[in-house]
Amino acid sequence: MNHGTHELVEHLFRAESGRMLAALVRILGARRIELAEEAVQDALVRALRTWPIRGVPTNPRAWLATAAKNAALDQLRRARETDDHESELVVWSVREGRSFELVHDDELADDTLRMMFLCCHPDVPEEARATLILKTVGGFHVKEIARAYLATEEAIAQRLVRAKRRLVEGGASFEWPPEAELAERYDAVLEALYLLFNEGYSACSGEELLRADCLKEALRLASLLATHPATRSPKVDALVALMCFQASRSRARVDDAGNVLLLEDQDRRLWDRALIARGFRHLERATVANELTTYHVEAGIAACHAAAPNFEATDWERIVYFYDLALERNDSPVVRLNRAVAIAERDGNWAALAELDELEHHPRMARFFLFFAVRGELERRAGRNDRAQRAFERALELPCTAPERELVQRRLARCTGSAPTIFGTTGKR
């Protein structure tokens, strides 16, 4: 298999699978969600088999849509259930080939958003709703979802099976939910967008630190929610602000060789000032109501970094204050880990290590790469190189991206160095 072709197929599948699946579910109905998933997967397999031999088609998106349509029709015909769906599938595949532009209207006709709210149907267990969105809309593998939740792959797989079964058995409709039901589904949709963005901002594995497709899609969908009268709220404005601030640093987070650049080492001239300005506009809108959510707090932290002209001018006192607020709303070990990084900058390494000592035996941290990476750097800075080495070696045993692995290997190789930087905070909770 040509490596470049494989990467292209993977990229297109990441970018288009959610939209294709949502369109197929709209046409075929929620009870055929598994059929739609199989059709999309079949389109990917066909691309992987044929493109290296016949070449990449002129319009890859149209090719994938047509392949998914044909796979769905084959299954319907075998089951003798074509009904009136055949003509709808044909029209959809033709439309996909005409334009790559986003199409939506005031009624939120965007199929992907409808799919997200369908995944949050009352028949779906509450704890499985965001998980189902990540699988169907985000195109996530079970391994990626497990990492996002710091859970086992088996637990996530079982959760997905139960969620889809409940969705099918409940006879859920693809129609836009009524206003009273919309509020019940809203938080799970925002949670899924948050996790989708985080996977783009810091991928769980692979050769790249960033996944631009996840970043763009999460920001696109969150922006749709923020602009529509039925779904706009201070909470979603805060989420969009957070995404804008974080995404603004994308170009500066790796160097030309693909090496990770921590916050202190980034060239802030590469930060996207237009995205930062957009983030502050959304943050201003997010503060008009008397509401303070986790998204508000995290956007406040990101805004502190965005406002600082250089690393030395960062307001760590205010950042620690925001993390204290975050703990009041969500006392999670990941929030405590992020707070420890800020504590290290405000109060020094020993104060931060004391914070990590309290987290050391938490079961979620045992599988979290960043915990051991941070621990190793703090130990190194404190002069305890033997402990730093053990922490770095443990970090290298856990899932991470190739750039993150390379960074830890460099730190491990120079445990006796005196570089002052530590691993930057993550947006993950």
Are 47 and 164 part of one and the same domain?
Answer: no
Examine the domain organization and report whether 272 and 396 are in the same domain: yes
* pTM across the whole model: 0.79
Shared-domain flag, residues 267 and 390: yes
Same domain, 147 and 294: no
Q: Which of residues 49, 73, 97 is at a domain's end?
A: 97
Report yes or no on 213 lying in a domain.
no
Give tens-digit pLDDT for 275-319: 999 999 999 999 988 889 999 999 999 999 999 999 999 999 999
- Residue numbers of the chain with a pLDDT score lower than 50: 1, 99-109, 205-207, 418-421, 424-429
Residue 418, in any domain of the structure: no
Same domain membership, residue 329 and residue 380: yes
- The answer to whether residues 6 and 90 belong to one domain is yes
User: Does the residue 318 lie in any domain?
Assistant: yes
Please indicate, yes or no, whether residues 281 and 406 belong to a single structural domain of this protein: yes
Please report whether residue 424 resides in a domain. Answer: no
Model pLDDT, residue 107: 37
Q: Are residues 187 and 294 in the same domain?
A: no
Q: Are residues 74 and 131 in the same domain?
A: no
DSSP bridge pairs for 254: 260
The amino acid present at 60, given as its one-letter code, is P
Rg, Å, the chain Cα set? 23
Considering the domain boundaries, does residue 360 fall inside one?
yes
Domain count across the chain? 3
Distance in angstroms (rounded) separating the CA atoms of residues 290 and 285: 12
Tally Cβ neighbours within 10 Å of residue 300.
Answer: 24
From first CA to last CA, the distance across the chain in angstroms is 38
What is the C-alpha to C-alpha distance for residues 267 and 5, in angstroms, rounded to an integer? 33
- 8 A C-beta contact, residue 321 and residue 306: no
Residue 122, burial from CB neighbour count under 10 angstroms (0-12, 13-18, 19+): middle
My answer on whether 69 and 121 are in the same domain is no
CATH code, 389: 1.25.40.10
Are residues 123 and 84 located together in one domain of the fold?
Answer: no
Please state, in angstroms and rounded to a whole number, the distance separating the CA atoms of residues 163 and 231.
Answer: 24
Residues 351 and 288 grouped into a single domain: yes
Structural domain that includes position 43: 1-97
* Domain boundary residue, one of 152, 173, 195: 195
Is position 139 within any domain?
Answer: yes
pLDDT recorded at residue 84: 67
| Domain end point (choices 77, 97, 117) | 97
Nearest to 195 by CA among 252, 139, 261, 267: 139
DSSP for 77-140? HHTT--TTHHHHHHHHHHHHHH--S----TT---HHHHHHHHHT-TTS-GGGHHHHHHHHTS--
237 within a domain of the structure (yes/no): no
Q: Please indicate, yes or no, if residue 277 is contained in any of the structural domains.
A: yes
